[in-house]
Chains A and B, each alone.
Chain A
Amino acid sequence: MSLLIGSTTIGLILALLALGIFISFRIFSFPDITAEGSFTFGAATASSLIVAGVNPLIACVCAFIAGMIAGASTGIIHTRFNINPLLAGILVMTALYSVNLHIMGKSNIPLLSETTVFTWIENLSATIFGPDDKMMIIGWEVATKDLCLLFLCFLGILIFCIIMWWFFKTNLGTAMRATGDNSQMIRALGVNTKRLIIAGIALSNGFIALAGAMLAQYQGFADVQMGLGMMVWGLASVIIGEAIINDNSIGFVIAGAVVGSVLFRLLVAIALRWGLNPNDLKIITAFFVFIALILPGIMKNRKKLTFKRKANAVN
């Protein structure tokens, strides 16, 4: 049970990453590789500030801004210097590696004894329910603080989703979506797409950096290599979410990214829990993702078939 709760919590934290990837890849159709750098960038910024004694919430905000700066750089390199988006992302990501090492001063910052957002949540739970309070959920013993954490993460993500949903319904947000869907059309309407791309990629990387900052606090340290592979997992989450939700309206797609992220973490947890050969972990996760992707399609086809059969029967 605690595994389910823990994995869901990680899934919710990394949903921020999925949301960020969703903005760049889906809304702007911009293959943005900056993610791997800005994820660590957020973690590095937040951790360094926290160690320096800054309020963790402010540190998170700073991480978000740091991510936006990184994203804006990618956007500017792409739009102003006409550099291929992939290449622009690679440039910024590579540069960020050094920047991160400079920010942290070393390759790994422990936060084990620092006050983080999660320490607050634990303290909050301790004052409400008492320290080390346990609950029984259908036979499983669960620490109340873990439940508290899960609930607040869920709440946080919900708020982010609502804000995002609202934002992409505004004129600016709609223009952004249009930039990705049909940039010629929106340019013809007199919108400066370059600015929108810069803003959008900045926003995307802001989310990704925030995800990094939160994960660093959750796991208790920031490591300069922690961004490795993140973009792939984020993208996988987004695509799984899309496959399941199968709807183009903005609200559903946002929800899909979150669901995809949580589902993905659950799949990894299942693969781990079954105790397979550790060397096979990645191939198993790849297989799970594959199944998650094709399953909705198969189900839809079957529905269509039965529908057709019914139609034939009527005829």
Chain B
Amino acid sequence: MKAGKIINCIIALVFAGGILLVSDLQNRTGRDKIMTGFTTNPEYHAIPGRTYKIGMTYFGPDATFDMAMQGVWDGLKDLGFVQDSNLIVISQHANGEIGNLQPIHLNMDNLDLDMILVTSTPGISAAVASVKKHLVVFTMTYTPLEAGAGKSYTDHLPNMTGVGSFPPVEKTFDFIKEVFPDAKRIGTLYNSSEANSIKVVRVGRDYMKTMGLELVENTIVGTSEVFQAASALCVRNIDVMWITGDNTALQALHAIVKVCRDNKIPLILNDVDYVKFGALAAVGVGWYNTGVYSASFVARVLNGENPANIPIENYVEEKITLNHDVAKEFNIKFPEKYLAQTDGPKKKNYKFCLIHFVDSPVSEDAEKGIRDELRNRGMVEGDDFTMKIFNAQGDISILNNIAETVAADKWDLVFTLSTPTIQMISQKISNTPVVFSNVGDPIRAGLGESYENHHPNITGISTMSKFEDLIVLVKETIPGIKNIGTIFSPGEINSVAYKEELEKAAIRQGVTLTAVPANSTNEVTDAARVLVNKGIKAFTQISDNLTSSCGPSIIKVAYDTGTPYFSYVGKQIDQGAVAVVSSDYYYAGIDAVVLAMQINDGVSPRDIPFRNVSKSLVEVNPDAMEIFRLKVPEKYYNR
């Protein structure tokens, strides 16, 4: 019987836990990533307590490199090598010029490193020539052997190994033939000192002959020649331009895109990540997965395996990317079979999450601001982004649950709309960017040491009102006023911060502020009466959750006692306030989206300082002026 009761308990817990796990199924890792199997091999894992230091070289900052590296870091992370934690990476690039590769590899060779990660085929050539003391793993290359890494995949230089990804050249020409059945002459340009391009072009040329196509070639030496070489090709009556993964040509791809556009020549690439810059399509390598695959090589070498014993491997995940915008421009229809199996450079569908702590007008205003600004930026809910809303309804324990729920899911960005929410989220989430709003004083909330120096994944908007502005307005409206009053809510950190700032502003302006606390909605009316009894001549109500919800009851007291009501809450202008100076929460929402878009564009939240809300609104209510027989100076009307 007793055992039965324990089993009852266990069944209940397991049942609830099971439901939770089932709802969480899609968050199992490895869903999108290739399962290489190496993550389960303990020999590849980082040794706890050890710090690894690797050097990394690349041709120049570009999209392909970013994709491949993202894969490498993600793969390494799975093996316990975490950047900035136990993995220190020193990186250098050649600014897109082959000539710079040699010196940076020489330099790398003289640093104290565990190994060097080399990317691009010319990079390998430079490493072969210059790196003598260190071990090398390479990735993001078409043809490592042609670069000099070895005679074959097993017989290679003893200090080097890595992953090659030879592009699907034949598929590329099949694709061109199918999309442009009338095409005869294919133009290309490449750097004749890049071994990768030479090999690919040779394979391409041979294959074309069998298809009855003719390859028109131009070679370049540096990025500065690209424009001229591309123009020269176009005059030679080519039907289609094909650019393979030539590092030099890709660095100056925008020039090629322009020339092709001007001459109405479609552009086909081998690098899918460049299609969005204006090419028609690409048949190429999914570099992200190549990166993930290469991570195991890095891990093995870091853990002491001799590169001489690790064969070079060829890893290609074929990928076709179509650019429908360009297709429309050229009036081209892709064959059905490609439409089905490809993913165009579609706009990303952002996954946002927004967390309220409690239902209040200020919170709702900010949410409206966020939604409106996203819409203004052409983002359609459902198509371009999804926004999941959470609301703790004022309950801290629920807020804890929400924080766990949010932390367990993957988001592109998280918005929070209150001080407790951002405090809790900052504790739980360290990888996802977070943008807060509706926080009076982010420093006091513990989010950073200053507006510039703060938690690396967090930035946001402080909604501190322009306190002095309203006091000045009140002084000009009611000359000689000495006593003003506000109700504040001691339980809300924003409210207390606002009250203190208002006090300071009042002292600067030479008026006396009387502040009366109220802790719950039913105390607000009494607090308002107390203020009037204390002889205040005008309300200057700060904005917090409590009093913004109970605005009407304060305003009623103000009307009953003939005390003019001014406030910092935008909405209250319609409820009977004479004038408001609102650091508008609606604009706080808009500002939050501005920061969010910077983050989506690739700026790290670490580099975005906290900001004050951009707009403070002055509004005047003529009816209320008449009732209180007041005249707010005209200069405020036009603002």
A residues adjacent to B (C-beta < 8 A)? 1-4, 6-8, 10, 14, 97, 101, 106-108, 110-113, 129-134, 136, 139-141, 215, 218-221, 223-226, 228-230, 233, 244-247, 252, 255-256, 259, 262-263, 265-270, 272-275, 278-279, 281-282, 292, 296
Query: Does B8 have its Cβ within 8 Å of any Cβ on chain A?
Result: yes
A273 and B406 alpha carbons, distance in the complex (Å): 9
Which of chain A's residues have a CB closer than 8 A to the CB of B403? Answer: 219
The residues of A that contact B16 with a CB separation of less than 8 Å are: 263, 266-267, 270
Other A-B pairs beyond A10-B397, A110-B423, A220-B446, 20, CB < 8 Å: A14-B397, A107-B493, A130-B49, A132-B82, A136-B29, A140-B21, A140-B29, A141-B29, A221-B420, A221-B423, A221-B445, A223-B493, A225-B492, A226-B420, A228-B395, A233-B395, A247-B5, A263-B16, A273-B405, A279-B391
Determine the residue in chain B with the shortest Cβ distance to A271: B401
Q: In the complex, A268→B19 CA distance in Å?
A: 12
Please give me the residue from chain B that is nearest to A211 by CB atom.
B397
User: What A residues does B20 contact at CB under 8 A?
Assistant: 3-4, 7, 266, 269-270, 273
Cβ of A283 to closest chain B Cβ, rounded Å: 11
B405 touches A266 (CB 8 A): no
B12 lies within 8 A of A220 (CB): no
Cβ–Cβ < 8 Å partners of A8 in chain B: 17
A107:B80 contact, CB within 8 angstroms: no
Which residues of chain A come closer than 8 Å to B251, judged between CB atoms? none
* B48 close to chain A: CB less than 8 A: yes
**In angstroms, how far is the closest chain A Cβ from the Cβ of B60?**
31
> CB distance A268 to B401 under 8 Å?
yes
Question: Who on chain B is nearest to A273 by CB?
Answer: B23
Task: Provide the bound-state CA to CA distance between A3 and B407, in Å.
Answer: 8
Within 8 A of A (CB), among B1-21: 2, 5, 8-9, 12-13, 16-17, 19-21
Question: Is B398's beta carbon under 8 Å from chain A?
Answer: yes
On whether the beta carbons of B12 and A244 are closer than 8 Å, the reply is yes
Chain B residue numbers with a CB within 8 Å of A224 are 490-491
Alpha-carbon gap, A296 to B11, bound state (A): 12
A230 to B400, CA, bound (A): 13
B447 contacts which chain A residues (CB < 8 A)? 110, 112
Q: Which 5 A-B pairs have the closest CB atoms?
A: A110-B446, A3-B408, A6-B404, A130-B48, A220-B427
Cα distance A296–B409 when bound, in Å? 33
**What is the CA–CA distance of A3 and B30 in the complex, to the nearest angstrom?**
18
Complex: chain A residue closest to B28, CB-CB: A139
Q: Which residues of chain B from 78 to 95 have a CB within 8 Å of any chain A CB? A: 78, 80, 82, 85-86
**Is B129 close to A, CB under 8 A?**
no
The distance in angstroms between the C-alpha atoms of A233 and B407, with both chains bound, is 23
Instruction: Indicate if B206 sits at the interface (CB-CB under 8 A).
Output: no
A140–B12 alpha-carbon span in the complex (Å): 22
> How distant is the Cα of A97 from the Cα of B520 in the complex, in angstroms?
12
CB neighbours of B24 from chain A (8 A): 1, 3-4, 140, 273
Q: Are A278 and B390 neighbours in the complex by a CB distance under 8 Å? A: yes
Q: Which of B's residues lie within 8 Å of A, judged by CB?
A: 2, 5, 8-9, 12-13, 16-17, 19-21, 23-24, 27-30, 39-40, 46, 48-49, 77-78, 80, 82, 85-86, 356, 359, 388-391, 393-405, 407-409, 419-420, 423-424, 426-428, 444-447, 455, 490-493, 495-496, 519
Q: Are A256 and B391 in contact (CB under 8 A)?
A: no
Asked if residues A112 and B80 are in contact (CB atoms below 8 Å), the reply is no
The answer to whether B9 and A130 have CB atoms under 8 Å apart is no
Q: A10-B397, A108-B445, A130-B48 are in contact. Are A263 and B404 (CB under 8 A)?
A: no
- In whole angstroms, what is the CA distance A7 to B402 when docked? 9
Once the chains are docked, how many angstroms separate the CA of A219 from the CA of B356? 16
Measured between C-beta atoms, what is the minimum distance from A270 to chain B in Å? Answer: 5
Q: In the complex, how many angstroms separate the beta carbon of A2 from the nearest chain B beta carbon? A: 5
Question: Closest B-chain residue to A241, C-beta based?
Answer: B9
Docked CA distance A219–B78 (Å): 27
B356 close to A226 (CB less than 8 A) = no
A126 CB, min distance to chain B CBs, angstroms:
9
Is A266 a contact of B13 with CB atoms below 8 Å?
yes
Contact A269 B27 (CB under 8 A): no
B490 and A2: CB pair below 8 A?
no
CB distance from A273 to the nearest CB of B (A): 4
Q: List 6 A-B contacts (CB under 8 A).
A: A141-B29, A221-B420, A223-B396, A262-B13, A263-B16, A270-B23
- Which residue of B5, B82, B359 has the most chain A CB atoms within 10 A of its CB atom? B5
Contacts of A112 in B (CB 8 A): 423, 426-427, 446-447, 455
Complex CA–CA separation, A215 to B390 (angstroms): 20
B30 touches A221 (CB 8 A): no
Given A3-B408, A130-B46, A130-B80, are A256 and B9 neighbors across the interface (CB < 8 Å)? yes
Contact A6 B388 (CB under 8 A): no
For A288, give the chain B residue with the smallest CB separation. Answer: B16
Contacts of B424 in A (CB 8 A): 219-221
Q: Closest chain A residue to B408 by CB distance?
A: A3
Chain A residues contacting B394 (CB-CB under 8 Å) are 225, 228-229
Taking a contact as CB atoms under 8 Å apart, the answer to whether B395 and A272 are in contact is no
**CA A134 – CA B46 in complex, angstroms?**
11
Q: How far is the CA of A7 from the CA of B403 in the complex (A)?
A: 10
- Using Cβ atoms and an 8 Å threshold, which residues of chain B touch A245? 5, 8-9
The answer to whether B402 and A272 touch across the interface, beta carbons within 8 angstroms, is yes
Chain A positions within 8 Å of B496 at CB level = 106-107
Min CB–CB distance B299 → chain A (angstroms)? 14
Question: Do the beta carbons of B493 and A106 come within 8 Å of each other?
Answer: yes
Most B CB contacts (10 A, CB to CB) among A2, A108, A134, A256 go to A108
Q: In the bound complex, how far is the Cα of B444 from the Cα of A225, in angstroms?
A: 17
Return chain B residues, CB-CB under 8 Å to A131: 82, 85-86
B493 touching A229, Cβ below 8 Å? no
Tell me which residues across on chain A come within 8 A of B401, comparing CB atoms: 7, 10, 265, 268-269, 272
Given A107-B491, A223-B420, verify A247-B2 contact (CB < 8 Å).
Answer: yes
A74 to B345, CA, bound (A): 67
Residue pair A269, B427 in contact (C-beta under 8 Å): no
Min CB distance A265 to B, Å, is 6
CB neighbours (8 Å) of B40 from chain A are: 136
- What is the CB-to-nearest-CB distance from B398 to chain A, in angstroms, rounded to a whole number? 6
Q: CA of A140 to CA of B25 in the docked complex: distance in angstroms?
A: 8
Question: Are A6 and B407 CB-contacts (below 8 A) given A223-B493, A266-B16, A270-B16?
Answer: yes
Shortest Cβ distance from B427 into A: residue: A220
Contact: B445 with A110, CB < 8 Å?
yes
Which residues from A are CB-within-8-Å of B408?
A: 1-3, 6
Q: How far is the CA of A229 from the CA of B393 in the complex (A)?
A: 11
- A295 CB, nearest partner CB in chain B, Å: 8
Give the distance in Å from the alpha carbon of A255 to the alpha carbon of B13 in the complex. Answer: 13
A229 to B358, CA, bound (A): 13
B398 and A281 form a contact (CB under 8 A): yes
Asked whether, in the complex, the Cβ of B420 is within 8 Å of the Cβ of A108, the reply is yes
A87 to chain B, nearest CB (A): 18
Q: Collect the chain A residues with CB atoms within 8 Å of residue B389's CB.
A: 278
A274 → chain B closest CB, angstroms: 6
Partner of B396, one of A2, A226, A256: A226
List residues of chain B with CB within 8 A of the CB of A101.
490-491
- In the bound complex, what is the Cα–Cα distance between A3 and B404 (angstroms)? 6
Question: Which residues of the other chain, A, contact B23 by a CB distance below 8 angstroms?
Answer: 270, 273-274
Interface centre among B394, B447, B491 (most CB of A within 10 A): B491
Instruction: Give the CA-CA distance A298 to B219 in the complex, in Å.
Output: 82
Q: How far is the CB of B6 from chain A (nearest CB, A)?
A: 8
* Neighbouring B residues of A141 by C-beta, 8 Å: 28-29
Contact B402 A220 (CB under 8 A): no
Contact partners of A140 in chain B: CB under 8 A: 21, 24, 27-29
A263 contact from B12, B27, B39, B492, Cβ within 8 A: B12
Measured between beta carbons, the chain A residues less than 8 angstroms from B391 are: 278-279, 281
CB distance from B517 to the nearest CB of A (A): 9
CB distance from B443 to the nearest CB of A (A): 10
Give the Cβ gap from A46 to chain B, nearest Cβ, in Å.
15
Chain A residues, CB < 8 A from B5: 245-247, 252
One of A1, A113, A244, A273 near B9 (C-beta < 8 A): A244
Contact indicator B404/A7 (Cβ below 8 Å): yes
